[in-house]
Amino acid sequence: MEQIHKRFTTDQVKAMLKAYCQGNIDRSSIEEILGISKTRFFALVKEYRRSPAEFTLAYQRVSHSRLPESAEKQIEVELLLEKSLIDDVSLPITSYNYSAIRDRLTDRGVRVSVPTIIARAKEYDCYQARPKKKAHDREVVTTAIGALIQHDASHHRWSPYAKEKWVLITSLDDFSRKLLYADLFEEESTWAHIKAAETMMCKYGIPLRYYVDSLRVFRFVQSRDSFWRKHVLQTDEADPQWKQVMRIVGTEVIYALSPQAKGKVERPYRWLQDRIVRTCAIEKLTSIEDVRSVLKSEVNRYNNRQVHSTTGEIPSTRFEKARKEGNSLFRPFVLPKPYASPKDVFCLREKRMVNGYRRISLFGREIEVPRVPVREEVELHLIPDRLRTIIEIRIWWDNHIVHSVVYPSKEIPGVHF
């Protein structure tokens, strides 16, 4: 049915509304004549009573201003650039990310909606229909921040212009979905994961539990005995260095039994991977330091600007709200006795026995140990410093530090950074 203003004049409708207000005609009769619903009728009555003299059926169409030519050009450039990345089979990019295009344009002062970008994409043959997704059935199972930290690492060629792969290590709070830690390392090692835990705990506190996979950094997993070999130590009967740190600070460790079980932290990885690789490809970045700056920017976007699909809130906002309300299971980081420095908590540990010359041997180097009886066992705390390329060795006996030495890292080749 045609709209009212095409079938009746303003004066005709005003006359009927006036008659209704005076009680000379009922509502249903007017609705039948005009062919409108009750909701539309009362909207007209409200408008008429507000100002009978100015009442009109005519309305002013509001048309949005067209984008400037410069903005249109930038959209085209971004879309064609995306197309070139997708067409390059050597790059791990197979689909368009119109939201990323919008964010890059916003950073340059060009404000445009995703539907507008998609409309232009169809014009420039830069459009891919999104695959049909399964119904969203994820939910938050924890009730407070610090209840569970999802910790994981991802090996990837983060920049197509880099010669090597790097590893991204992250820690995600399950309740808020905030990334509490994210950094790139040239290689994955026990020390890298220990430093990640130290950075996170010193800033936010000690969480109740850590959720990790069964990588050997986190867990000793032994295979079954065979006819040729019988294993002495079984699964979890040996303590990896990272697990020792968790035990000292009093954090429970839970192990995921499959990659699918790590889905909550894998999704941010996919989000970061898509954004970081795309930006590095566009800016042709080659060094890990340059890619770190991109990572920092994208983590800031994820934590402070993106509404999470599961929680319906921005991660940082949800995290701070829980903290202010006291809904937190983080414990303040306090040095456990007898330690007097975080170095003795977040370190690599070795044990040695003092020989008859009051010395110990470490990776082929002899170290003198004063004030310790012969044949006593001492605990060595090894603290590598990547920036200064040194390693500090702190020797403990009978709950006291008895000696400390520093060597260049290259002189202790047995320590895997």
Does 31 share its domain with 119? no
Q: What percent of the chain has pLDDT over 90?
A: 50
Q: How far is CA 180 from the centre of its chain?
A: 8
Higher-confidence position of 184 and 214: 184
Measured between its terminal Cα atoms, the distance across the chain in Å is 76
Mean per-residue pLDDT for 140-148? 88
Instruction: List the CATH number of the domain containing 232.
Output: 3.30.420.10
Computed over every residue of the chain, the mean pLDDT equals 85
Inform me whether the pLDDT recorded for 237 exceeds 60.
no
Q: Are residues 100 and 21 in the same domain?
A: no
Question: Which of residues 289, 324, 359 is at a domain's end?
Answer: 324
**Model pLDDT, residue 59:** 63
Looking at the fold, whether 246 and 360 belong to one and the same domain comes out as no
Residue 389 has pLDDT above 80, yes or no: yes
pLDDT digits (tens, 9 = 90+) for 24-58: 999 999 998 888 889 989 989 998 998 888 888 87
pLDDT digits (tens, 9 = 90+) for 75-111: 999 999 888 888 877 677 788 889 889 988 998 899 9
Same domain, 352 and 296: no
In this structure, is residue 416 part of a structural domain? Answer: no
**pTM to 2 decimal places:** 0.72
- Name the more confident of 269 and 88: 88
| Domain assignment of residue 400, yes or no | yes
* Edge-to-edge strand ranges of the sheet holding 149-156: 179-185, 166-173, 149-156, 209-212, 252-255
Question: Could you tell me if 310 and 229 lie in one domain?
Answer: yes
Mean pLDDT of 377-404: 93
Q: Which domain holds residue 27?
A: 4-54
User: Does one domain contain both 157 and 110?
Assistant: no
- 392: tokens are 């500090």
Q: Residue 263 — very low, low, confident or very high, per pLDDT cuts 50/70/90?
A: low
Dist. CA 215–CA 193, nearest whole Å: 12
Reported as a single tens digit per residue, the pLDDT across 187-225 is: 888 999 999 999 999 999 999 999 988 767 776 545 444
> What is the per-residue pLDDT across 277-296, written as a single tens digit (0 to 9) for each?
888 888 889 999 999 999 99
Query: Quick one: 84 and 18 in the same domain?
Result: no
6 vs 167, which has greater pLDDT?
167
Task: Determine contact, residues 17/27, Cβ cutoff 8 Å.
Answer: no
- Is the same domain home to 222 and 354? no
Using pLDDT thresholds of 50, 70 and 90, give the confidence band for residue 233. very low
Residue type, 344: D
Q: Which residue has the higher pLDDT, 65 or 116?
A: 116
Q: Classify residue 343 by its DSSP letter.
A: G
Instruction: Tell me, yes or no, whether 334 lies in a domain.
Output: no
- Overall residue count recorded for the chain in this entry: 417
pLDDT tier at 318, thresholds 50, 70, 90:
very high
Position 77 in a domain: yes
* Residue 330: inside a domain: no
With respect to residue 397, please indicate whether it lies within any of the assigned structural domains: yes
State which of 80, 106, 123 marks the end of a domain: 123
Examine the domain organization and report whether 162 and 289 are in the same domain.
yes
pLDDT grade for 323, boundaries at 50, 70 and 90: very high
Taking residues 256-263, report their average pLDDT. Answer: 58
Q: What is the identity of the amino acid at 64?
A: H
Count of structural domains, the chain: 4
pLDDT at residue 397 is higher than 90: yes
Same domain, 361 and 396: yes
Point out the least confidently predicted range of 61-70, 347-356, 362-371. Answer: 61-70
Quote the radius of gyration of the chain (alpha carbons, Å): 33
Answer whether residue 219 is part of any domain. Answer: yes
The answer to whether residue 63 scores a pLDDT higher than 80 is no
Residues 352, 205: one domain? Answer: no
- pLDDT for the residue numbered 206: 97
User: Is residue 195 in some structural domain?
Assistant: yes
Claim to verify: residue 162 and residue 284 sit in the same structural domain: yes
Residue 194, SS3 per DSSP:
helix
